[in-house]
């Protein structure tokens, strides 16, 4: 992996990203802005399950309103993230935080899709449903915590040795 990262870092594409010194801060700024979009969408969906927001609105409608923002945020995050990786592949590929984040990101996206489907099925079975089960609330809370961990890991990439070095 390190050999591949070193090859990529010496590639003309990576040198293009590295040599335009304004590019990385611009990409990180867009990346950070999109965290806000994605995280707020996730929190609003979780708050609906807790009945704290739009409690009288069926889950499907709340999903239809906020889920598109999650995907609209994740796409630019993936694009900016991939270019950041191309710009500093050795830094990213040798960071435990980066791999943990990517792994949890896959889990987070799949769990949100499963969660939404189970909520939609539950609401279809009982359209008047406004109160969700404690299991659904636990799943909603776990989803929010999962995204918080992803955010922490994204930031921890810059301090990877300090963070994990301290833990081992
Ligand atoms: C979709 C794929 C994603 C990729 C490929 C990706 C990749 C990256 C990379 C390469 C960095 C720069 C790390 C560094 O060198 O310091 C970064 C930073 C970061 N990422 Fe991601 N990321 C993705 C999605 C996300 C998501 C979904 C979140 C959270 C919701 C997130 C949160 C962060 C945070 C908090 C930072 C630190 C930003 C900073 O302070 O500069 N990333 N990401």
Instruction: Domain of residue 89: give its range.
Output: 2-167
153-165 tens-digit pLDDT: 999 999 998 988 7
Domain count along the chain: 1
* Alpha carbon distance, N-terminus to C-terminus of the chain: 22
Give the orientation angle of helix 12-19 with respect to helix 59-87, to 10 degrees: 100
Q: Rounded to two decimals, what is the model's pTM?
A: 0.88
- Our answer on whether the CB atom of 77 is closer than 6 Å to any ligand 1 atom is yes
Task: Please provide the size of the chain in residues.
Answer: 168
Counting atoms of ligand 1 from 1, which one is nearest the CA of 28?
Answer: 41
The percentage of residues in the chain with a pLDDT greater than 90, rounded to a whole number, is 66
pLDDT tops 60 at residue 168? no
48-65 tens-digit pLDDT: 889 898 888 888 888 889
Nearest to 104 by CA among 146, 69, 141, 71: 146
The percentage of residues in the chain with a pLDDT greater than 70, rounded to a whole number, is 93
Q: What tokens appear for 38 in the block?
A: 């994605």
Distance 136 CA to ligand 1 centre (A): 28
Determine which of 14-23, 42-51, 54-63, 88-97 has the lowest per-residue pLDDT on average. Answer: 54-63
Mutate to test the pocket of ligand 1, among 32, 33, 77, 89 (most ligand atoms within 8 A of CB): 77
């Amino acid at each position: 992996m390190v050999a591949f990262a070193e090859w990529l870092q010496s590639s003309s594409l990576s040198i293009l990203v590295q040599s335009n010194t304004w590019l990385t801060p611009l990409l990180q700024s867009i990346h950070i802005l999109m965290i806000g979009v994605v995280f707020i969408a996730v929190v609003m969906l979780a708050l609906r399950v807790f009945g704290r927001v739009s409690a009288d609105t069926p889950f499907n409608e709340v999903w239809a309103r906020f889920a598109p923002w999650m995907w609209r945020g994740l796409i630019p995050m993936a694009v900016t993230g991939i270019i950041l990786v191309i710009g500093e592949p050795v830094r990213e590929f040798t960071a435990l935080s980066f791999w943990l984040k990517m792994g949890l990101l896959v889990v987070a996206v799949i769990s949100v899709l499963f969660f939404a489907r189970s909520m939609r099925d539950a609401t279809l079975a009982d359209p008047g449903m406004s109160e969700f089960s404690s299991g659904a609330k636990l799943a909603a809370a776990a989803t929010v915590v999962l995204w918080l961990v992803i955010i922490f890991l994204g930031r921890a990439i810059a301090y990877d040795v300090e963070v994990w070095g301290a833990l081992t």
